[in-house]
Amino acid sequence: MKTSVCVVGGGPAGLVLGLLLARQGVTVTVLEKHPDFLRDFRGDTVHPSTLDMLDEVGLGDRMAALPGRRVGGLHATFDDGTYQVADFTRLPAPHNYVYFVPQWDFLEMLAAEAAKLPTFTLLRATTVTGLLRDASGAVAGVRAAGPEGEMEIESSLTVACDGRDSLVRQELGLRPVDYATPMDVLWFRISRGPSDGDGLAMRIGSGGLMLAIDRGDYYQCAYLIAKGGYDEIRAAGLDALREQVARRQPILADRVGELATWDDVKLLTVKLDRLERWHVPGALLIGDAAHAMSPIGGVGINLAVQDAAATARMLGPKLAAGQPVTETDLAAVQRRRWLPTVVTQNIQRAAQRRIVDPLLHATGRIEAPAPIRLLRRFPALQALPARLAGIGVRPEHVR
């Protein structure tokens, strides 16, 4: 099989790239190893800069029709009260909110829109297993295994969007610089009653931080634990975890029994890393494959989407004209996306070091730190974290 661009991975980066290239008439094939997008560990936040971009593509109405929730402010509850830490309503309308939308709905919508374009193909349940090389050693496509068996897909450009454990990256022998993270995440669901608060609740108490994301009839909970602390938590038993959850979110106290076995609790390992070089002849890496993002700020999906938008805008015209994409072209994409990536990751690293790590190891009463109290005193300052998370550095646009 031949295609102009082979995209490995149908996550946010891969599907947005596939859609934006196909809109320009480029023949593109996206390979996704799972048969569907129904995995609940991929994060839910779509930020204003991505919503703006989806408007530019004409998908604003489709986005608005998804079962999402608009959250105008991020609140954190400490032992001394609840503080608003980011006020998205201070951002320019119309997207002055964070949109919490189950990622499978978002990805299915992108896949359905892209499928309307004649040059787009999505191969589900198809796992990339290796790379093809031409005589000069440049990447010339991929080998994959799908429902029909083994196949080879030749392409003039391969884009790795296969996430933080990227097989393409491994096959290319590229090793990212790994930055330490102080936490891992326990990920579980607890039911939500009609009279419970909506949106997002963040509770910070001794020994941890918990986020409850409102997904309609249940909360998706992210319970932060110290890195490597899972065995200890498991040894302490499920009752101890239930008690901690109820302490952090008292409204869940009558429902923590829904965590019936450890199978209900998934451990998500947090990573933060970055490749020095995102390209080799014939291949480009974007999204988490080039720079795994920490969940802090919930910005990973947005960075991945913005990488895809820049790639499609910068390489699309050449690809559509059938011209070869050179390494200089690929290097230009990395240059364009380097600054937003480094700035965002540096903010995440600072937040991990100065806020999350001390909180994870604190005992006793935990009061809001000075910067958070300052945000309450001068509410206009809440626009700053909202802008950093919601719009970020160098938002991308689609022509």
Ligand X SMILES: Cc1cc2nc3c(=O)[nH]c(=O)nc-3n(C[C@H](O)[C@H](O)[C@H](O)COP(=O)(O)OP(=O)(O)OC[C@H]3O[C@@H](n4cnc5c(N)ncnc54)[C@H](O)[C@@H]3O)c2cc1C
Residues that bind ligand X (CB under 6 A): 8-14, 31-34, 42-45, 127-128, 161-163, 167, 185, 268, 270, 287-289, 293, 295, 298-302, 304
Cβ atoms of 28 and 3 closer than 8 Å: yes
Of 185 and 368, which has the nearer Cβ to ligand X? Answer: 185
Of 128 and 319, which has the nearer Cβ to ligand X? Answer: 128
Of 42 and 336, which has the nearer Cβ to ligand X? Answer: 42
Measured from the CB of residue 31, what is the shortest distance to ligand X in angstroms? 5
| DSSP symbols for 177-219 | EEE--SEEEEEEEEE--TTS--SEEEEEETTEEEEEEE-SSEE
The b/e string for 136-155 (b: 16+ C-beta within 10 A; e otherwise) is eeebbbbebbbeeeeeebeb
Measured from the CB of residue 135, what is the shortest distance to ligand X in angstroms? 25
Of 108 and 373, which has the nearer Cβ to ligand X? Answer: 108
Measured from the CB of residue 381, what is the shortest distance to ligand X in angstroms? 23
State the sign of the Cα–Cα–Cα–Cα dihedral 297, 399, 58, 324.
negative
Measured from the CB of residue 42, what is the shortest distance to ligand X in angstroms? 5
Of 78 and 223, which has the nearer Cβ to ligand X? Answer: 223
**Cα gap 158→380, rounded to integer Å:** 45
Of 112 and 253, which has the nearer Cβ to ligand X? Answer: 112
Measured from the CB of residue 378, what is the shortest distance to ligand X in angstroms? 27
Cβ atoms of 185 and 209 closer than 8 Å: no
Of 9, 42, 11, residue with least CA distance to 298? 42
Measured from the CB of residue 9, what is the shortest distance to ligand X in angstroms? 3
CA 328 to the chain's CA centroid: 28
